[in-house]
A and B are shown apart, each in its own frame.
Chain A
Amino acid sequence: MSILTYPAPVPPGSPVQPIPAIQFAGGPLALHITHKLHAGFPSPAADYTADPLDLNQYLVDRVACTFLFDVAGWSMSGAHIVEGDKVVVDRSISPQPGHIVVAIVNGEFTIKRLRLVNGAYELHPENPDFRPIRFGDGEVLEVFGVVVGVARKML
């Protein structure tokens, strides 16, 4: 709060005593002064300020349809998505072969790459220890959303 920075520090030994900040907070006069007083030269950068970078803006195009998931396990390690990563999932994008998607299989969420193999959609892990998920006739592959980003802290 600007009230606390006024008045300027008094040099040691000066006979002038600073007015305690608490008194300043009390009266409209003090507020008036602190808001009007601009000591010194105005900043030459004032007309060129910009908002700081925002990772939300970078990762999320549409807030209403974007959901974050917590990655468990290593089935997508080949795609550089690993345990503990937060993946950004957009439900407005229609899934295409080649997209990494969050799909619903047996009532559970799974993250895999969507592939079209001989006319049938399959979900492929990117880790040789895991097997692709294939769907029989009449089975429905349900995609929750398309993975559009990943966020990870290193420390």
Chain B
Amino acid sequence: MSTQPPGPAGFALVDVNNFYVSCERVFDPKLRARPVVVLSNNDGCAVARSNEAKALGIKMAAPWFMMQDLARQHGIVALSSNYTLYADMSNRVTDVLRQYSPRLEVYSIDESFLALDGLAGLWPSMSDMGQAIRHQVLSWVGVPVCVGIGATKTLAKLANHIAKRQPQFVGVCDLSILPPTEVDQLLAKIEVGDVWGVGRRITEQLARLRIRTAQELRNAPLKAIRQHFGVVMERTCAELSGVSCLALEDVAPPRQQIVSSRSYGERVSGLREIEESVSTYAARAAEKLRAQGSTCGAVHVFMETDRFKLDEPQYNNGRTVPLPEPTDDLRVIVKAAMWGLRRIYRREFLYKKAGIMLMDLAEGQARQGTLFGSGVSAMSSAPLMAAFDNINKRFGRDTVRLASAAGPHRWAARFEHVTPHYTTDWKALPRVR
């Protein structure tokens, strides 16, 4: 064991291994012995893979239709995304993690940061805390997690990456107590593209500067990094050397944009059908908008053809429609969306996907009157939209909808191999004999 003093109080990143697949395996133990992939919306490509599926060479985001032969040969089980189940399981994991730190940031559906300041005295070492977390999440919720610990969020993320891939760490890696030479060796083996916040484009640019590993990025002169890549990368670089620049975001900032779009199960060409689908997506987006108490100032609509059908004529276009005043009223949003759609629609194409993005979001109450109103009274809008949301919450999605939206579920994504909502639907509980 290292006799060095513990590093500065920092962060832990807890991340569920192969989250979607792990959730599915809790409720269908037979899946444990088989390679499993979970597919994206419309069963398009692999978004989660079991270790066995990874070993067979299935890559993240690999299109499923290209893997049919491999799947048959190795008995790979492909499942549609069961987001309802994953969200419930994610909440359970978060519940457990809250027992370990008063300050927690849910970073994504399968990752949370924990602030560790003040906790060191409670555990023989932070690694012991990490092991306790692993044990408790596995026994309570049933999914395996890895824990990365470091002085900064970026180092915690990196430590998690190491904990996941190097079995000798037994699922927990604390970079803050390792001797500097060992940290150097570990960082030297990590490609710079695996560092949090370093995207593919920056990776290529860094390669030209002969920066290829996490260690080389950490050792790069801050000033040069700032000149080349700006302040965000400078921060990443500083975080790698243990200077904490990114604070824990306990309270999720309201989203700046809300997107709702899907690929169609089959391609469509008629404007009427596209309008119906976008009106349906608009209802989802507006519901989210109101749930976070925001208004939007502009609506962006877009449509595109199937870019994998190389022999067909391709078209994609979008239009941003500014609104006369910020609103959360679905009627105004849909009106703007329909206006935009009619301007970009061209009848000679077969469309694969369309959608809507609500932009220029602001806090709901900051409502500014305009001289020429939208024709929809803001006074009647709030109670109407509240009633709209309540009815749909109580009686199910699309119980009430605008006439421009299609019938229930017609534009819902295709989920052919979806498992039951085991934890949220009385009719779908797992059976026990």
Contact = CB atoms under 8 A, between A and B. Distances in A.
Contact of A92 (B139, B383, B431): B139
Contacts of B141: 64-65, 91
A70 B142 contact: no
A91 B380 contact: no
Interface in A82-131: 86-87, 91-92, 102, 104, 107-111
B432 interface: yes
A72 B28 CA distance: 16
A64 B429 contact: no
Contacts of B29: 104, 107-109, 142
B54 to A, nearest CB: 22
Interface centre among A26, A75, A109, by most chain B C-beta atoms within 10 angstroms, is: A109
B70 to A, nearest CB: 24
A68 B422 CA distance: 8
A33 interface: no
Contacts of B430: 67, 69-70, 109
Contacts of A104: 29
Nearest to A62: B140
A79 interface: no
A104 B92 CA distance: 21
Nearest to A67: B423
B386 to A, nearest CB: 10
Categorize the interface residue count of chain B. 20 to 34
Contacts of A8: none
Interface string B18-37: 00000000001110110000
B274 to A, nearest CB: 36
Interface residues of A, number: 29
B379 interface: yes
A63 interface: yes
Contacts of A60: none
B432 A109 contact: yes
A68 B142 CA distance: 14
Contact of A86 (B33, B139, B429): B429
A71 B433 CA distance: 6
Interface in A44-65: 62-65
A26 B379 contact: yes
B128 interface: no
A72 B96 contact: no
A78 to B, nearest CB: 15
A108 B92 contact: no
Contacts of B380: 25-26
A87 B426 CA distance: 12
B95 interface: yes
A100 to B, nearest CB: 11
A7 interface: no
A73 interface: yes
20 contacts: A25-B380, A26-B377, A63-B95, A64-B140, A65-B140, A68-B423, A69-B431, A69-B432, A70-B432, A87-B432, A91-B139, A102-B432, A107-B28, A108-B433, A109-B29, A109-B430, A109-B431, A110-B432, A111-B432, A111-B433
Interface of B: 28-30, 32-33, 91-93, 95-96, 139-142, 377, 379-380, 383, 422-423, 426, 429-433
